[in-house]
Amino acid sequence: MTSADTAQLGQFIRERRIAKGITLKQFSTGSGLGFTQLQKIETNKSTGVPYKKSLARISKALFLNKIESQKLYYLAGYEEALESVEMIALNSVERELIDEYRQLSAGQQRTVKGVVSTVLQMELDESSN
């Protein structure tokens, strides 16, 4: 994971928390994670990415919908977030896209991830304005 990815993760979490009117203290209480730990994640001062269990707590405490939750895991570098999608809840186009992604070579998947990261950053930048 690059520092740019980590920055996107922290920015994503902070923006969602603020948009939902949740204070950092409330976020800490609701997630069961430490205030300082969450502050470090949001300000990109964490020494690594959160474990999946911590991301699940973050997602629940921020009331993230399915798409936002998947984005959270993706920004944390958990590529399988794309693979762990509940196929039942997806429409046929979404299922087809996921199946096509899984058939790509590692290099092609990296290219797709680069494009997705760029688009996500553009969305974050737009929502900040």
Structural domain boundaries, residue 94: 3-128
- Residue written as token pair 């997630």: 31
- For the whole model, what pTM was predicted? 0.62
Report the number of distinct structural domains present in the chain: 1
Give the DSSP H/E element, type plus range, for residue 3.
helix 3-19
pLDDT digits (tens, 9 = 90+) for 48-57: 888 889 999 9
Contact (CB, 8 A) for 16 and 68: yes
CATH, residue 67:
1.10.260.40
Calculate the CA 14 to chain-centre distance: 11
pLDDT digits (tens, 9 = 90+) for 56-102: 999 999 998 888 888 888 888 887 665 554 544 556 777 788 778 88
